[in-house]
Amino acid sequence: MLGLRRAFAALLPLPRAGSPPAAAMSTLLIRQERYAWLRELGLQEENPGVYNGRWGGRGQVVTTYCPANNEPIASVRQGNLEDYEETVKKAKEAWKVWADIPAPKRGEIVRQIGDALRQKIKVLGSLVSLEMGKIYVEGVGEVQEYVDVCDYAVGLSRMIGGPILPSERPGHALIEQWNPVGLVGVITAFNFPVAVYGWNSAIAMICGNACLWKGAPTTSLVSVAVTKIIAKVLEDNKLPGAICSLVCGGADIGTAMARDERMDLLSFTGSTKVGKQVALMVQERFGRSLLELGGNNAIIVFEDADLNLVIPSALFAAVGTAGQRCTTARRLFLHESIHDEVVAKLAKAYAQVRIGDPWDSDTLYGPLHTKEAVKMFLDAVEQAKQQGGSVVCGGKVINRPGNYVEPTIVTGLPHNAPIVHTETFAPILYVLKFKEEEEVFAWNNEVKQGLSSSIFTKDLGRIFRWLGDRAFPDPKEELCLIFVCRPKGSDCGIVNVNIPTSGAEIGGAFGGEKHTGGGRESGSDSWKLYMRRST
């Protein structure tokens, strides 16, 4: 990890003595010698934001900013609805070529995409850090996740298929066949501008689908850079570039994708509020959607927990990526017997978090993504105070350039306080007391979202009850019979034991329940969502 940080430090040398600070410069960062490495990704001062075999764009020019100093990086000319229409037509034509290629051959192309990403992993990770604001190690790790999904998809390309089932009719065969859906639209969020597209595109491609990507407008440079890498692989193999199309744009493009009957599957990652609108538009045309929405994730710590695991885990889950992961821990339930001890130790750990520029080797915590996110943070802290909460540490904006806020711990709120039930995309952790297992499991499940959850305990029976296996009795039960087994425990899509809520492995299905959307991406049998089944 330290080696990667040092490598990034080499990419971004410190300003020479006497040179003006970046905040004082009015020019785009890409014009400055310090950021010349951006051109290694094929980026320019103004970049076309539409790719369908050719680069273009006739929409608005949008400048993206570095969250660490709010300086402009470079600009992207977005696509308009005319660009979108042209791109959809080209993507549908490209799909006809792509779907006819044998799945293992499609896997070979995806393998080459993974290798191309490997070659650019440091510089692309640097761009993620610069434009999104996460620390460099996380930026590189996000690109690595795309690479890992490509590796996974290569093997999967030789395994997808349906069974031959026994037929009740003599001389007949009963076969289950899987075919690509066609065109997969992918709308991604700012917080994981590379990895989420990788989860979708790598799996969708080996299934035989074409993709049309709309990334977040505030991370458009990442979208352009990733697409340039993919496009070169496709073009080198004499394949239509529109297999992996890109249309940078705003809500008009997203709305067009949701309402377009030619969009055979729409994968949307973003807020629950917008996701609901997307789901309704897709459902109105009886389309298929894959939703990855919000998460109000909880960690539960019982009295028998190993606090040497709890403190770093809670810190990482709540503070990592400045609280801007969908799997960030936002609620921490502590057994009343250990509440004060854990809060004191956690506050001490918070005080040691190194805050700084995302690309500095010693930085563990960077800025929020936008100025609007800072305002939302302050509003949430104020609401927590008004509802009876006490700020143990943090709660303020840090006096430095960029969108920096203090990692924050709030205690004293009831489990059902409105602000506790509100997902705030910021590093605010609400610490709450509990007495009994049954009540805290219910509190974990009472919020509208159901993405990630975790408990810390050494009690094996409790662990299995948390996972939903009622073969293990409640503490009050004297006898447990097999016929009383019934699903309980966490109602989340990701259920952890003695590890943080954040972080996931690509081999498992990623996603959540309830207002999180119910979609699943990446591993396990998630590939089935990108295909249609016929019997």
- Cα–chain center distance at 417: 27
Please give the positions annotated as active site: 292
> What are the tokens at 484?
């009383």
Q: Phi, psi (5° rounding) for residue 390? A: -115, 130
CA distance 462 to 495: 13
Based on the domain organization, do 271 and 303 belong to the same domain?
no
Residue 127 scores a pLDDT above 90: yes
Going by C-beta distance under 8 Å and a sequence separation of 6 or more, which residues neighbour residue 275?
268, 291, 293, 294, 517
Q: What is the per-residue pLDDT for 20?
A: 36
pLDDT tens string 325-357: 999 999 999 999 999 999 999 999 999 999 999
Based on the domain organization, do 313 and 462 belong to the same domain?
yes
For residue 29, being part of any structural domain is answered with no
Q: What is the per-residue pLDDT for 490?
A: 97
Q: Domain holding 212: CATH number? A: 3.40.605.10
Residues 19-44: what's their mean pLDDT?
Answer: 80
Q: How confident is the model at residue 486 (pLDDT cuts 50, 70, 90)?
A: very low
pLDDT tens string 79-126: 999 999 999 999 999 999 999 999 999 999 999 999 999 999 999 999
Residues 365-381: what's their mean pLDDT?
Answer: 99
For residue 31, being part of any structural domain is answered with no
| 3-state secondary structure string across 503-534 | CCCCCCEECCEECCCCCCEECCCHHHHHEEEE
Based on the domain organization, do 65 and 212 belong to the same domain?
yes
pLDDT tens string 156-188: 999 999 999 999 999 999 999 999 999 999 999
Based on the domain organization, do 334 and 365 belong to the same domain?
yes
Residues 404-427: what's their mean pLDDT?
Answer: 99
Q: How confident is the model at residue 15 (pLDDT cuts 50, 70, 90)?
A: very low
Helix axes 251-259, 81-99, angle to 10 degrees: 50
DSSP 495: E
| 3-state secondary structure string across 36-75 | HHHHHHCCCCEEECEECCCEECCCCEEEEECCCCCCEEEE
Residue 455 scores a pLDDT above 80: yes
For residue 152, being part of any structural domain is answered with yes
Label the pairing between strands 265-269 and 329-335.
unpaired
Centre a 10 Å sphere on the Cβ of residue 158 and count the other Cβ atoms it contains: 12
Q: What is the per-residue pLDDT for 18?
A: 33
Q: What is the per-residue pLDDT for 471?
A: 54
Based on the domain organization, do 329 and 260 belong to the same domain?
no
Residues 485-496: what's their mean pLDDT?
Answer: 82
Based on the domain organization, do 180 and 316 belong to the same domain?
no
Based on the domain organization, do 352 and 471 belong to the same domain?
yes
Q: Domain holding 359: CATH number? A: 3.40.309.10
End-to-end C-alpha distance for the chain, whole angstroms: 49
pTM, two decimal places: 0.92
Residues 10-14: what's their mean pLDDT?
Answer: 36
Residue 509 scores a pLDDT above 60: yes
212, 450, 321, 497: CA torsion to nearest 10: -120
For residue 36, being part of any structural domain is answered with no
DSSP string over 203-238? HHHHTT-EEEEE--GGGHHHHHHHHHHHHHHHHHTT
pLDDT tens string 135-149: 999 999 999 999 999
Task: Check residues 485 and 270 and name the one with the higher pLDDT.
Answer: 270
Q: Which of 1-5, 124-128, 301-305 has the lowest mean pLDDT?
A: 1-5
Based on the domain organization, do 178 and 222 belong to the same domain?
yes
The structural domain count of the chain equals 2
pLDDT tens string 259-277: 999 999 999 999 999 999 9
For residue 9, being part of any structural domain is answered with no
For residue 169, CA distances in Å to 128, 165, 174, 533, 535 come to: 58, 12, 9, 21, 15
Going by C-beta distance under 8 Å and a sequence separation of 6 or more, which residues neighbour residue 500?
299, 313, 314, 316, 317, 329, 454
Q: What is the per-residue pLDDT for 245?
A: 99
Q: How confident is the model at residue 2 (pLDDT cuts 50, 70, 90)?
A: very low
Q: Let me know: does 226 contact 143? Beta carbons within 8 Å.
A: no
Based on the domain organization, do 215 and 354 belong to the same domain?
no
Based on the domain organization, do 169 and 203 belong to the same domain?
yes
Classified as helix, coil or strand, 364 is: coil
Q: Which of 104-108, 209-213, 468-472 has the lowest mean pLDDT?
A: 468-472
Query: C-alpha angle 8/10/13, rounded to 5°?
Result: 110
For residue 25, being part of any structural domain is answered with no
Q: Which of 14-28, 362-376, 433-447, 521-535 has the lowest mean pLDDT?
A: 14-28
Based on the domain organization, do 240 and 323 belong to the same domain?
no
Q: Which domain holds residue 453?
A: 297-504
Nearest CA among 142, 124, 145, 65 for reference residue 367: 65
For residue 168, being part of any structural domain is answered with yes
Based on the domain organization, do 83 and 58 belong to the same domain?
yes
Q: Which of 4-8, 88-92, 138-142, 209-213 has the lowest mean pLDDT?
A: 4-8
For residue 74, being part of any structural domain is answered with yes
For the chain, give the mean pLDDT.
Answer: 93
